[in-house]
Structure 1
């Protein structure tokens, strides 16, 4: 394959996600867990601009504080660009500018969205012409949530969350997201889950090795019924997240006291996602939470996965 000289700026965008259902299997010998999750991509986006460079670099801006983000080779967007360059035999680099709107370390896959958008942007910039399957293979090696950020929509994730199958979802679901002023370590929350299970081994059923998504969740998504989905949302990581950050319990209470159908900690937290019945209810809840000094933003889903905006 002949790769043309890069000569422009490419803009790509990818969404954050909510785990409307997440079951975590038993701890395995390799230190990982099998997952069964229902993802929904929502209308909070990460924007990536890629331009030609001799090396790899990234800088951040956006509606949230990005001062704590790493910009060296450990950054997931840099890893994504390097992985595609290796796959394609591309010898140049890329300068990435990322505008962030998804909460950082918030359980909504913001870093994964950065990586997904970077893959599309670099593919277009370098003319590598990777197929979607090739991009998904690279994405899966970068992290469990990255393939979903590529595909978007609504999907069931199994394995470590990276083995995806599309799920039918009718209409739009409306969400209000309570954004915390702090982040949470995903490995830390999983470790707390393992400790939680050990502490309560006499009181809870052992975790399945291969969990599955509740049929009621799939039915609610197919029906486009927020009330039905509210009754079946579930997250195994919620209890350990609440143990590590007890204040999130009060946030859940405030949302449900002010009109939410249900609230759930998204992924490993600390973002709390409140499902509401329609867009008017979302606005009302956002205003109510803001009055209570909870930083709240509105979003809807499902939305498309990573896509090019300008190439």
Structure 2
């Protein structure tokens, strides 16, 4: 493990006012989103869609990194350039999602465990050869009656830590993603309680497994009320609750926090990230960045609709949403930007 290189890459992933693009939807998820708006579901269409993203002019001005999937890191742009190399050419660090998805957890009703550790060391070595410089693993935590259980939290935290240690052994910066889901009617306060418990558990396991904190990135949820909660808190309340939770749980050694959007609209995710950076600028030990998927891609996917003629307009929409999140990192995002 090269600690210096890992630290440099981790810092580069959250440097300046840029963030990360999560273009790592699994094949079933990508097909589901295509089907919802009438786009054909096949490998070539998925390749063409990701080609539209990777070749968008100016995208590198807003992004430090992009997370790929196994299918995409093996594919090429229309010009015959491997996607990982095409990203690097515009200053975007290529990464790779390596988990095998969240599955029902035995003896824990309504809870999930993420799979994919089998053969991971060998897969990571291959991804390094294909150009990846960081990786991502997502754990899923559900809030409900009597859950999350301690068993679920401990198991997912251990697996996240084992994954992170293997990544660093291979020279890859691990993105550690313990996502407390927005599903349900829980309050913001309940989300804060579960998120704090989750992060305490995750970092305890990261330390136990000797993961270099300076060579990783945390990708957490924002502290928000459930989608069905009668009271939806203000952006300022969410900003305060989220940052206070992170200050109690995330060691200062971690270079950066790159939030997931978790089903929030692009506008809402940007507004909440902007509120955090505006209210806490210069007061935090780590940068607050973004690692959004739908919150950046959704308008572009709708415009593109699988048609080559729509690529320029779709790319313009994609770059615009990425720029909105650069403004959010500065604490300067406003809804008026969406009309520009």
More helix by share: 2
Same fold (TM over 0.5): no
TM-score, with length taken from structure 1: 0.28
TM-score, with length taken from structure 2: 0.26
More strand by share: 1
